[in-house]
Structure 1
Amino acid sequence: MAAVQGILSQAEEVIEARPEYYLYAIAAHVDDSQRTWGLDATGVVDCPFTGKGIKVAILDTGVDRRHPDFAGRTIVEKLFVDASSLTDVVGHGTHCAGTAVGPRSPGVVAPGYGCAPDAELYVGKVLNDAGFAEEGSVAEGIEWATEQGCHVISLSLGREVRPGEKPTPFYERLGKTALDMGCLIVAASGNNSERTSGSIAPVSEPANSPSIMAVGAVDPTLRIAFFSNGAVNPAGGSLDIVAPGTSVFSSFIAPKDYEILMGTSMACPHVAGVAALWAESDPALRGQALWDALVASAKPIGLPKRDGGAGLVQAPTKGAGMARVPTV
């Protein structure tokens, strides 16, 4: 294997020669009654923007377009894995999509739970019906979303990395290319920590790539979630921002229709949705500029940078965005 890698690495068209890993959905089921606290904590409930005109891609297990909160909504979809259909049969992707772009106003049977309800939804099914995928599928999904002109890509998936493991050029190139094309990729930092016993795992791949925004999770008390990975890998893998990631209420597949989950997977679409709000607020906020706006506006909550990055993601307020663009 080493000899083959060495030979391939010499080829000009090869970015990196290494085994292809499987990535998986980063979530865990919980039984908790708290709901919609994430919209309050991130300031979304008071935000005058709704994500209108902004394209958000959820690359996950697909979405259940039969869900009552997605009925009649235009959804651009594409399949990247070996699966029976585009429909989400796991629930993970539907839950993430709901948090990012689901309804903000309360419905007949559910509270409001979505950050950017008027954003345009793009769904790439890059995880199969068991919640796993080869890296190639994820890469194809990212390339597709950027080619579609998506402003934000949400990746609630990842692979656990070893202590000292460096970020791979494979994902860094994808992240950098996306930023250059005006697209921000946000990714879940991973759930491999056990902070109650003092164990903090390094930020997962691909979130550990410098050009992909790594999202950690906090609980309703704004403390770091016990499972949330941190920036402990000296070889690379920063933690850029945090968002609500426990007791998160959102859409789910039938027959439940709604579910409360926890995980950095749940934190990630909060950031994606809030990013869409910032992108709507100012057409200049694209790619790196959008990244910078999210970091600059994050709310300090007393967490060390290792755990909380810049702080808790915050939605733009009235007067934000366009007011900062010079007129001529």
Structure 2
Amino acid sequence: MAKKTVGSGVSAQATPGPNLSSSIDELLLAATARGDGTLRTGRYVVTFKEGAGSPTDNLTSLGLRTADARDFADQSLEIADVGDAHAIVLPEIGVAVVSDLGMQTAGLSIEAEAASDSAIQTIEDEYFVFAQQETSDYLRGFLKATEAIIAGLELDQMRKEELDFEAEVAGATWGLVACRVPQSSRSGAGVKVAVLDTGMDLGHPDFAGRPIVTSSFVGQPVQDLHSHGTHCIGTACGPKAPAGSIPRYGIAHSASIFVGKVLSNSGNGSSASVLAGMNWAIANGCAVISMSLGSQSPVQAAYTAAGQAALNRGCLIIAAAGNASSNTGAPANSPTIMSVGSLDQTLVPSNFSNFGKMEIAAPGRDVFSSVPRPTRYGTKSGTSMATPHVAGCAALWAQTSPSLRGQALWNRMLQAARPLPFPQAKVGRGLVQAPA
């Protein structure tokens, strides 16, 4: 593998940027100090050509110290534990995350074109990603996150959820009714569903006795101190019959839940944590991978490669389009990842929902679901809330036939979608529907 020359983006004389083991808070603070107003973390993502050999071997040949996800149990790679490695390798998706020092050591740059004998397909900036909730835009969320860290605030623990039962219809939330979930005979039994988010309240009583596999990729316990992840898991995989007067809010109530904490308790992450979570979910054979996260960044080859690797392995990645009232953000803008837009209760596109590259739409306004104790239940809005509706329905469809996996599952869900009188750029093929 030929070395690349150092381009203007990575200078051999420059002060090295963030380490691979830097926490998301450290990355955010460094980006604030840099002051360039971008969503770049200062690290890089390398995507390798298919069939180009081992990414680890290729990087090692360039003099880099690597940490391979296969060296961790179930490929549950904890980024905070990679020590002084220059690169982390995610073999299921053919991607590596490389520090600035690693780029300098290997003589790599974004600007330089790969030599004909290079195993590298692309080198891209790594970006921050955020939980996609409400109508806040990504840059404002970035600045708010850094301000919270600097002030040392525990904003997430102060967040209070407001109960709202106006959406209760026939014992189920309005979203489940719109997706025809109550009429479905399927439960998601035997299907693995991964939700990559802020984690989960593992002690929530509505999930007692459920098979749950967990892993964290952000250096924090999986326990959700934010609430975004618990809410998304509730919609995708919550119980069929919650206790008391609580309406049904969960879709795939018998699915096996895989919780990947790729966003911190502040709701922030990076491409590295998300890609590591995707790699883990694929390695563990999750038929459905739900991601209510992203940023207003361009299409990234690493996400596209991860989406294709998932489809090749019989997995389907579903991601939120974003809430910036703008073009679909990453990773949902990749052609190999199913993009989800948000609908209001009148089944019109939500005013915050992104548009452009769009496959399908789902309920995203005033969605009732689980949140961490002691509150236990609450409503949220965003394409984040629409995405687990699609993921839950995908698990029900996957249960109907072992042949409905990967691209076949994608195709079947679009075929079954309820058409809506709006442009495809806003709602895709229409409103997601559960199988009978």
Provide, for residues 123-173 of structure 1, a one-character-per-residue CA deviation record: whole Å limited to 9, x for no partner.
Answer: 100001111111011101001001101000000000113xxx4x2211100
State the partner residue of 2:247.
111
Within 2, Cα distance between the matches of 1:103 and 1:90? 21
Amino acid at match of 2:247: P
Within 1, Cα distance between the matches of 2:132 and 2:224? 16
Within 2, Cα distance between the matches of 1:22 and 1:103? 33
State the partner residue of 1:55.
192
Amino acid at match of 1:208: N
Provide, for residues 228-266 of structure 1, a one-character-per-residue CA deviation record: whole Å limited to 9, x for no partner.
Answer: 0000xxxxxx10000000110000011210010000000
Residue of 120, 125, 130 corresponding to 1:19: 125
State the partner residue of 1:215.
340
TM-score by length of 2: 0.67
Provide, for residues 33-62 of structure 1, a one-character-per-residue CA deviation record: whole Å limited to 9, x for no partner.
Answer: 324001110010100000000000000000
| Residue 185 of structure 1 pairs with residue 317 of structure 2 | yes
Within 2, Cα distance between the matches of 1:219 and 1:107? 27
Alignment of 1:196-215 (within 5 A): 201-215=326-340
Q: Are the structure 2 counterparts of residues 106 and 75 from structure 1 closer, same or farther at C-alpha, using a change threshold of 3 Å?
A: closer
The 3-state SS of whatever aligns with 2:176 is helix
Residue of 278, 285, 291 corresponding to 1:142: 278
State the partner residue of 2:235.
99
State the partner residue of 2:94.
none
- CA contact 1:9–1:17 (8 Å) conserved in 2: no
Give the superposition deviation at 1:282: 1.1
- CA contact 1:102–1:113 (8 Å) conserved in 2: yes
The 3-state SS of whatever aligns with 2:414 is helix
Give the superposition deviation at 1:121: 0.3
Within 2, Cα distance between the matches of 1:139 and 1:26? 17
Q: Could you say which structure has the greater relative contact order, defined with CA pairs below 8 angstroms and 6 or more residues apart? A: 1
- CA contact 2:237–2:251 (8 Å) conserved in 1: yes
| Residue 90 of structure 1 pairs with residue 213 of structure 2 | no
Give the superposition deviation at 1:12: 2.5
Residue of 110, 128, 134 corresponding to 1:28: 134
Amino acid at match of 2:405: R
- CA contact 2:289–2:391 (8 Å) conserved in 1: yes
The 3-state SS of whatever aligns with 1:143 is helix
State the partner residue of 1:41.
178
Within 2, Cα distance between the matches of 1:107 and 1:306? 40
Q: Which structure 2 segments of 5+ residues have no match? A: 1-7, 11-108, 136-160
Structure number with greater Rg is 2
TM-score by length of 1: 0.88
Provide, for residues 254-296 of structure 1, a one-character-per-residue CA deviation record: whole Å limited to 9, x for no partner.
Answer: 1210010000000000000000000001111000000000000
- CA contact 1:189–1:204 (8 Å) conserved in 2: yes
State the partner residue of 1:325.
none
- CA contact 2:206–2:242 (8 Å) conserved in 1: no
- CA contact 1:8–1:14 (8 Å) conserved in 2: no
Alignment of 1:1-328 (within 5 A): 1-2=8-9, 4-7=109-112, 9-10=114-115, 12-28=118-134, 33-35=166-168, 36-83=173-220, 85-161=221-297, 165=298, 167-193=299-325, 201-231=326-356, 238-317=357-436
Amino acid at match of 1:242: A
Q: Which structure 1 segments of 5+ residues have no match? A: 194-200, 232-237, 318-328
Matched pairs, number:
299
Amino acid at match of 2:404: L
Q: CA RMSD in A?
A: 1.6
State the partner residue of 2:143.
none
